[in-house]
């Protein structure tokens, strides 16, 4: 990895990005409407724990296996 690159593990991704960022933003943006979440294939994004968390917390998830 280069000097300015940081490896983000699934728990950090969930605790620092998804929970405090994605969920409040989505509630404010979409209210009670259904919305779809898609992410790239970074290791922390495709981790099983992250996928399970997303399946439990977002209305529609474009699964990593599509």
* For range 47-52, the mean pLDDT: 92
Q: Is the pLDDT of residue 7 over 80?
A: no
The pTM score is 0.80
Beta strands, E only, 1-66 = 36-37, 60-61
In angstroms, rounded to a whole number, what is the distance separating the alpha carbons of residues 1 and 31?
A: 39
Domains of the chain, residue spans? 10-61
The model's confidence at residue 58, banded by pLDDT at 50, 70 and 90, is very high
Q: Provide the 3-class DSSP secondary structure of residue 15.
A: helix
């Amino acid at each position: 990895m280069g000097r300015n690159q940081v490896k983000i593990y699934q728990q950090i991704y969930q605790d620092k990005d998804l929970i405090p960022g994605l969920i409040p933003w989505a509630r404010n943006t979409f209210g009670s409407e259904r919305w779809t979440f898609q992410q790239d294939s970074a290791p922390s994004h495709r981790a099983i724990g992250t996928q399970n968390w997303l399946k439990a917390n977002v209305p529609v998830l474009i699964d990593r296996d599509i």
